[in-house]
Structure 1
């Protein structure tokens, strides 16, 4: 299966002709945007009011309720409304802290600090950012243990369940089944000062307008009926192939996510989101307005995350809200389209350590990428979506096939049957 496509030649001309066609489909693009704005304004005002009262914006759910199937209806409704959640106690504090120590040993035993060379892989090339603390390791035993753990499988199955996996007469993915999307770790030291990462979305920038599959995903928006758009409908999302670049994602992620390995407070350079998954309709329509150049999509560029900025998207930014305080073992999740950023911090108090582990349910696209990741795991090289830094090829203590349970083998395509929740 092909995971990516080459970006078309003469992108400015393609953007212009695509915008002309989409405008013709929509009709009155200003009225369509105004319709979305009318829907978004009270949502934004509610979020701002909650935050100003010191109340939590992010839904918080206890893992024990996830495991028992007893998540309160109002909590589930809030997750659907906000497109994000913190799952408390996905793992025990002691286990997460042990993983953190094991990662330190893994890095030290293999002299990572002496051999590491910072690489700007372009992921955040268009965003305001400080030097990241993202370490390009994928195959440590803690990462593998967390990915294949029954608790993680249960949480991802719970989150996949918010999505409509069957529509348009087709089954798009299996919400009960996992595939692997191996990602990196972040280790940010106490005392760190960072400008953070400015607001953006992942999983496609210009593709969201130019890709035929994405045009189907956003068919209601591009038909001039934006309030019919359902951000939880999986239709056509598993058919999107992003243009080849260092920011591409070869999988359909229902939720991006990370597992906390340290205590983190909301004012210590943590994840923020605009917790309104429907806001994507606004981003799409904003680029079609008359004040945007004909060959421009509000600054969106191939090979860069889709930036959300004050110039074009000031309506949305007051809703940008941090995660609540988290502890080691908590997991943090946000819908794959949700606008997110990382807050700035000066003299960070305590560590800010996480393992990035998203939710990527089984479909043909995800299974094919996972199988390719299985080959990368065997060789100890970086997965295909990431720069080929390949630090771990000769490392001692790297996870091997003997460290995989049946779920882990299935997630990496080493077994034919799916790993169901």
Structure 2
């Protein structure tokens, strides 16, 4: 994982990117300045409300409720951009998968970090991972999440099938109590500078950039399916569109036990994050001021706050109290409610999230990363390549090359995919459209 010491300033050419964006929006200065002031006022109110509610901000539903939730409840989940879905997998089956993971890492030379005390494992094809990703209930839950997305006019988007889930293979962690965890501070996945630099990705945030930030829909599919989230080929940067990031709990994990933290208002965090690079505090102003009059438009500096140069590419967004003071991250990054084996946690692909630095519990926190991935042309093409990686026992295309798992004891095989929907999701019965 990258450390702050690895980061550098952005190249001067990004000042031209700012100017290009500003020039593409009629009356950008007036529109953006008005929107920025409104966003600051809204954040001053909403962040206080988030801090007061803590983990109660996060919606909790049972897997059996997904088809019968009221429109009001679904709207709440959309607005928060995160949720816990309980009892997706039987408790005992989830604990069995945990035991298999422990056996896998004990019998094989698995890569992971920290190197001298591995807790985050860079392996993808353990039998339990195959079973979990292809489990019909897991895929049913991710399908339900995929269908939260829509086109602006309500018509079916060409080249996308929200009813057909795909699998994006990722890793897992077994985090022990008492270990400070600094590897995952607040950040956003699914693309960094690409949010501004790639024109299709930028179009996802057009309402924000044009000043109509309240009209922004984080669930609009229109440009998402063609957005390029990886322009620089950086390892660990997903090239697919995941509607929600997620993990499956294989143990009990509560607040202060190394769980996930989120900023539970995806529309507002998007609005602030996208406009932040275009504003700077006036010379005599407090850089944390919520007063719109203390801020001025900045289209000349190359800075895109929270984006950093790193090893030939870029990382971020990584908001901090210094770069994004109005998010009040030290109070608003709320922890997930207590989860049990078989529960899943999900957060919107634009959601700011982190992992708690402290684990003060008594049990290892064990989670398996499983996002919600819809069928799109780009995603289906990736799954085809991922299937070949699976069969060869090597890391999936988006991840760093390793020795591979083909000869590991307990490695998963195609026969471990026990359902038809799982086989299709893993690329064994899929068409590239």
**Which residue of 124, 135, 140 maps to 2:121?**
135
Q: How far apart are residue 198 of structure 1 and its match?
A: 1.6
Q: Does 1:31 align with 2:45?
A: no
Q: What SS is found at the alignment partner of 1:334? A: strand
Structure 2 portions without partners, runs of 5+: 1-8, 282-297
1:1-400 to 2 correspondences below 5 Å: 12-24=11-23, 25=25, 26-28=28-30, 29-51=32-54, 56-66=56-66, 69-112=67-110, 116=111, 118=113, 133-165=119-151, 167=153, 171=157, 173-195=160-182, 197-241=184-228, 242-243=230-231, 244-278=233-267, 279-291=269-281, 294-301=301-308, 302-316=313-327, 317=329, 318-345=331-358, 347-400=360-413
Task: Please name the residue that 2:3 is paired with.
Answer: none
CA contact (8 A) 2:249 2:368 kept: yes
Taking only aligned residues, the RMSD between alpha carbons, in angstroms, comes to 2.4
Query: How far, CA to CA, are the matches of 1:80 and 1:346 in structure 2?
Result: 29
CA contact (8 A) 2:112 2:118 kept: no
Q: What SS is found at the alignment partner of 1:177? A: strand
1:156-204 deviations in Å (ceiling 9; x for gaps):
1111122114659660532211111000011112333334622110111
Tell which deviates more after alignment, 408-417 or 248-257. Answer: 408-417
**TM-score (normalizing by structure 1):** 0.87
Q: How far apart are residue 290 of structure 1 and its match?
A: 3.5
Structure 1 portions without partners, runs of 5+: 1-9, 121-129
Query: How far, CA to CA, are the matches of 1:11 and 1:310 in structure 2?
Result: 19
Query: How far, CA to CA, are the matches of 2:156 and 2:10 in structure 1?
Result: 32
Q: How far apart are residue 111 of structure 1 and its match?
A: 4.5
- Equivalent pairs counted in the alignment come to 392
Structure 1 residues 408 and 332: CA distance shift in structure 2, 3 A: same
Query: How far, CA to CA, are the matches of 1:33 and 1:355 in structure 2?
Result: 38
Q: How far apart are residue 39 of structure 1 and its match?
A: 3.5
1:384-409 deviations in Å (ceiling 9; x for gaps):
11111143121132111222232232
Query: How far, CA to CA, are the matches of 2:46 and 2:86 in structure 1?
Result: 25
Query: How far, CA to CA, are the matches of 1:40 and 1:194 in structure 2?
Result: 28
CA contact (8 A) 1:183 1:357 kept: yes
Tell which deviates more after alignment, 296-305 or 329-338. Answer: 296-305
Task: Please name the residue that 1:7 is paired with.
Answer: none
Query: How far, CA to CA, are the matches of 2:113 and 2:256 in structure 1?
Result: 27
Query: How far, CA to CA, are the matches of 1:18 and 1:303 in structure 2?
Result: 15
Query: How far, CA to CA, are the matches of 1:344 and 1:215 in structure 2?
Result: 32
Structure 1 residues 384 and 294: CA distance shift in structure 2, 3 A: same
1:310-345 deviations in Å (ceiling 9; x for gaps):
112121123211000001110000000010111111
Query: How far, CA to CA, are the matches of 2:138 and 2:197 in structure 1?
Result: 35
CA contact (8 A) 2:240 2:382 kept: yes
CA contact (8 A) 1:196 1:269 kept: no
CA contact (8 A) 1:61 1:75 kept: no
Q: How far apart are residue 71 of structure 1 and its match?
A: 2.4
Q: How far apart are residue 119 of structure 1 and its match?
A: 8.1
CA contact (8 A) 2:176 2:364 kept: yes
Query: How far, CA to CA, are the matches of 2:89 and 2:373 in structure 1?
Result: 19
Q: How far apart are residue 82 of structure 1 and its match?
A: 0.4
Query: How far, CA to CA, are the matches of 2:321 and 2:114 in structure 1?
Result: 28
Q: What SS is found at the alignment partner of 2:350? A: coil
Query: How far, CA to CA, are the matches of 1:194 and 1:119 in structure 2?
Result: 10
Q: How far apart are residue 32 of structure 1 and its match?
A: 2.0
CA contact (8 A) 2:394 2:403 kept: yes
CA contact (8 A) 1:16 1:295 kept: yes
Structure 1 residues 206 and 399: CA distance shift in structure 2, 3 A: same
Query: How far, CA to CA, are the matches of 2:156 and 2:126 in structure 1?
Result: 38
CA contact (8 A) 1:131 1:194 kept: no
Query: How far, CA to CA, are the matches of 1:393 and 1:119 in structure 2?
Result: 23
Q: How far apart are residue 118 of structure 1 and its match?
A: 4.4
Q: What SS is found at the alignment partner of 2:353? A: strand
